[in-house]
A and B are shown apart, each in its own frame.
Chain A
Amino acid sequence: MAAFELDFVLRQGAFVVEIAERLDARALALFGPSGSGKTTVVEAIAGLRTAQRGTIAIAGRTLYSQQRNVNVSTRERRVGYVPQDVLLFPHLDVRSNITYGERPGHASFDAVVTLLDLAGLLQRRPASLSGGERQRVALARALMSNPDVLLLDEPMAAVDLPRRRRILDALLRIRDDLRVPLVYVAHSPEEVRRIADWVLVIESGRVTARGAPGPLLPVAQAAAE
Chain B
Amino acid sequence: MTGDAAEIALFTAATATAATLLMLVPGVALAWLLARRRFPGKAVVETLVSLPLVVPPVATGLLLLWVFGRRGPIGRLLDGIGVEVVFTWRAVVMAMAVMGLPLLVRTARAGFEQVTRRYEQIAETLGAGPWRIFRTVTLPLASRNILAGALLGFSRALGEFGATIVVAGSIPGRTRTLAVGIYSYTETGQDRQAAVLLVVSLALAFTAVLVSNRLAGES
A101→B128 contact, CB < 8 A: yes
B125→A80 contact, CB < 8 A: yes
A89→B128 contact, CB < 8 A: no
B141→A87 contact, CB < 8 A: no
B122→A87 contact, CB < 8 A: yes
Q: How far is the CB of A159 from chain B (nearest CB, A)?
A: 19
B124→A75 contact, CB < 8 A: yes
Which residues does chain A contribute within 8 Å of B140, judged by CB atoms? 91
The number of chain B residues with a CB under 8 A from chain A is 16
User: In the complex, which of the residues B125, B128, B129 contacts A81, with contact meaning CB atoms closer than 8 Å?
Assistant: B125
Q: How far is the CB of A218 from chain B (nearest CB, A)?
A: 35
Main secondary structure of the interface of B (DSSP, over half): helix
The answer, yes or no, to whether B62 is at the interface (CB within 8 Å) is no
Which residues does chain B contribute within 8 Å of A101, judged by CB atoms? 123, 125-128
- Decide: A75 near B122, CB < 8 A? Known: A90-B141, A91-B140, A91-B141: no
A100→B123 contact, CB < 8 A: yes
Q: How far is the CB of B134 from chain A (nearest CB, A)?
A: 14
Chain B window 119-145, contacts with chain A (Cβ cutoff 8 Å), 1 for yes, 0 for no: 101111111110000001100110000
Bound: A75/B127 CA distance, A: 4
Chain A residue, CB-CB nearest to B116? A87
The number of chain A residues with a CB under 8 A from chain B is 23
Bound: A33/B138 CA distance, A: 34
Which parts of A71-98 form the interface with B (CB within 8 Å)? Answer: 73-81, 83, 85, 87, 89-91
A145→B118 contact, CB < 8 A: no
Q: How far is the CB of A185 from chain B (nearest CB, A)?
A: 15
Most interface-central of B125, B136, B137 (chain A CB within 10 A): B125
The answer, yes or no, to whether A134 is at the interface (CB within 8 Å) is no
User: In the complex, which of the residues A78, A89, A141 contacts B137, with contact meaning CB atoms closer than 8 Å?
Assistant: A89
Which residues does chain A contribute within 8 Å of B137, judged by CB atoms? 89
Which parts of B128-170 form the interface with A (CB within 8 Å)? Answer: 128-129, 136-137, 140-141
Bound: A101/B124 CA distance, A: 9
- Decide: A75 near B118, CB < 8 A? Known: A90-B141, A100-B123: no
A100→B125 contact, CB < 8 A: no
Bound: A77/B122 CA distance, A: 12
Bound: A48/B136 CA distance, A: 20
Chain A window 182-221, contacts with chain B (Cβ cutoff 8 Å), 1 for yes, 0 for no: 0000000000000000000000000000000000000000
Bound: A145/B125 CA distance, A: 9
A81→B122 contact, CB < 8 A: yes
Which residues does chain A contribute within 8 Å of B118, judged by CB atoms? 83, 85, 87
Chain A residue, CB-CB nearest to B123? A100
Bound: A75/B140 CA distance, A: 21
Which residues does chain B contribute within 8 Å of A79, judged by CB atoms? 125
Most interface-central of B122, B123, B127, B136 (chain A CB within 10 A): B122
Bound: A73/B122 CA distance, A: 13
The answer, yes or no, to whether A103 is at the interface (CB within 8 Å) is yes
Which residues does chain B contribute within 8 Å of A73, judged by CB atoms? 124
Q: How far is the CB of A30 from chain B (nearest CB, A)?
A: 18
Sample (28) of A-B pairs whose CB atoms are under 8 Å apart: A46-B125, A48-B121, A48-B124, A73-B124, A74-B125, A75-B124, A75-B127, A75-B128, A75-B129, A76-B127, A79-B125, A80-B125, A81-B122, A83-B122, A85-B118, A87-B116, A87-B118, A89-B119, A89-B122, A89-B123, A89-B137, A91-B140, A100-B126, A100-B128, A101-B127, A103-B127, A141-B126, A145-B127
Residues of chain B touching chain A, judged by Cβ–Cβ distance below 8 Å, are 116, 118-119, 121-129, 136-137, 140-141
- In the complex, besides A89-B119, A89-B137, A91-B141, 16 extra interface pairs with C-beta distance below 8 angstroms are A48-B124, A48-B125, A73-B124, A74-B124, A74-B125, A75-B125, A76-B127, A78-B127, A80-B125, A87-B118, A89-B122, A89-B123, A90-B141, A142-B125, A142-B126, A145-B126
Report, nearest first, the 8 A-B pairs whose CB atoms are least far apart. Answer: A101-B126, A81-B125, A74-B124, A91-B140, A145-B126, A87-B122, A101-B127, A75-B124
